[in-house]
Structure 1
Amino acid sequence: MRNIALIVVDMINTYDHPDADLLVPSVRSALPHMERLIAHARSKNVPVIYANDNFGEWRSHHGEIVEKTLAGKKAELVEPILPDDESLIVVKARHSIFYETPLSYLLSQLGADHLVLCGQVTEQCVLYSALDAHIRQLHVTVPRDAVAHIHSDLADAALRMMERNMGARIALTDDVTF
C-alpha cells in the first residue's frame, strides 16, 4: 500500500476574480464531494494538505487568507472544507502546487508517494499539479466529481490528459480509498 496524502488545491478562495462566474457553478457541484473526501481522509489519519494561492498578497499567511475568504461574498463555498488544526498548508503563487513551494520536501517527510488531488481549477492548477507530480514520480488520483472547472470541455480534456499522458487514476470520490 502506498502512503497517500490528500491535496486540496486552491479552495480557500474569495471568488473575486475573472472567470469566477463561470467557476462557481462547478464548485457548488463538486463541493459536497470534496467535503466527503476530506472527511474520509481525516477519519483515516491521511494527511490533508491545502495548497493555496496567495492571490499576490505577499505579506499574508494562511490564516489571513482564510479570514479574507470568510469575509468575502462566497464564504459558503469555503466553510464546509476549511482546514482544521491537523491540516497542513502550503502557500503557492503560481499554478502548480509544487512550483517554488516546499511541497516536495513536505511529502518526502511524510513518506507520501501517492497524491489525491481535489479542488480547482481542473484545466489549470489541477492539471499542472498532476503533471508536476508525475515528473516527480508520484502516483496521482483525481476524483473527477471533486474537482471544479471553468470550461467543461477543457476540464474533460485535462482529465483525459492526466489519465493517458501521466498515468493518473481518474475516479469518483466514492471509489477513492485511503
Structure 2
Amino acid sequence: MHVAMSNTAVLIIDMMNTYDHPDAEKLTPSVEAIVDPLAKLVADSRSRDDVDLIYVNDNYGDFSAEFSDIVRSALNGERPDLVEPIVPQHGCRVMTKVRHSAFYATSLAYLLNQLKPERVVLTGQVTEQCILYTALDAYVRHFPVVIPRDAVAHIDAELGDAALRMMEQNMSAELIAAADCLH
C-alpha cells in the first residue's frame, strides 16, 4: 500500500475516555474547554488532503479491545458529550497504546516515517503526562512538534503549564491555537 506524504499529522491522544476514573473530576473541566476547538481542528483535518488524522488511545489494560470497543465504552461512559464531537470516522487511522507515550509499543513512528509530515500536532489529554511524553518521543525522532494550547487538557493546571513550557523550551515545540494549526 502506498502512503502519500502529508504536510501535517494531527494526533488525537486519549480522547476516547469513559471519565470513570480517580482523576476524572479534575480532568473534566479542562476537557470541556478544549472540545470545541479540538472538534473544529478534527473537522478541518478531515476536509484536507494534506493532513493525516491519527487517533492514538490507551487500551486501559484491555488487550482484547479493538479500537471500536474503546470508542463504544467512551460513548457509553460518564461524559459522552466530550467524546461525540471527535469520534473517529470509519476508515480513520487508529491505534492503541499501553503507556503514556503514543510512540511506546505502537507503530506510530513507522507510520510517521512513511507519511513524512513536516510537523506533528499533538492534541488530547493529559498535557502533563501523555502529551508531554509523546512530545519528547516525537522530538527525539526529529519530528517537529506543534501543541495547540486550546486542544490539550490537563489534570493539574500548574503541571500542565509547566509541561507546555518544557515542550516549548526543551523540545522546540511550537505552541499555537488550534485554529492556526493547519495554516
Secondary structure of the residue that 2:147 maps to in structure 1? strand
The aligned residue for residue 134 of structure 1 is: 139
Residues 11 and 54 in structure 2, CA contact (< 8 A), matched pair in contact too = yes
Q: Distance in 2 between matches of 1:93 and 1:78?
A: 20
Q: Distance in 2 between matches of 1:3 and 1:177?
A: 9
The answer to whether structure 1 residue 99 and structure 2 residue 101 are counterparts is no
The aligned residue for residue 24 of structure 2 is: 20
Residues 8 and 182 in structure 2, CA contact (< 8 A), matched pair in contact too = no
Q: Distance in 2 between matches of 1:9 and 1:20?
A: 16
The aligned residue for residue 144 of structure 1 is: 149
Alignment of 1:14-53 (within 5 A): 14-45=18-49, 46-53=51-58
The residue identity in structure 2 corresponding to 1:154 is L
Superposition deviation, residue 174 in structure 1 = 2.0
The aligned residue for residue 157 of structure 1 is: 162
The sequence identity of aligned pairs, in percent, is 50
Residues 119 and 148 in structure 1, CA contact (< 8 A), matched pair in contact too = yes
The answer to whether structure 1 residue 112 and structure 2 residue 117 are counterparts is yes
The answer to whether structure 1 residue 4 and structure 2 residue 8 are counterparts is yes
RMSD of aligned Cα (Å): 1.4
Q: Which moved more, 1:83-92 or 1:51-60?
A: 83-92
Paired positions, count: 178
Q: Distance in 2 between matches of 1:78 and 1:151?
A: 21
Superposition deviation, residue 16 in structure 1 = 1.1
The aligned residue for residue 81 of structure 1 is: 86
Q: Distance in 2 between matches of 1:110 and 1:145?
A: 26
Alignment of 1:46-65 (within 5 A): 46-65=51-70
Residues 117 and 140 in structure 1, CA contact (< 8 A), matched pair in contact too = yes
TM-score by length of 1: 0.96
Q: Distance in 2 between matches of 1:177 and 1:86?
A: 21
TM-score by length of 2: 0.93
The residue identity in structure 2 corresponding to 1:7 is L
Q: Which moved more, 1:97-106 or 1:67-76?
A: 67-76
Secondary structure of the residue that 2:88 maps to in structure 1? coil
Structure 1, unaligned runs of 5 or more: none
Deviation sequence 1:100-139 (CA, Å, 0-9, x none): 1010111122222410011000000000000000000000
Q: Distance in 2 between matches of 1:171 and 1:156?
A: 14
The residue identity in structure 2 corresponding to 1:18 is P
Residues 12 and 69 in structure 1, CA contact (< 8 A), matched pair in contact too = yes
Runs of at least 4 residues off by over 2 Å: none
Residues 35 and 81 in structure 1, CA contact (< 8 A), matched pair in contact too = yes
Q: Distance in 1 between matches of 2:86 and 2:182?
A: 19
Structure 2, unaligned runs of 5 or more: 1-5
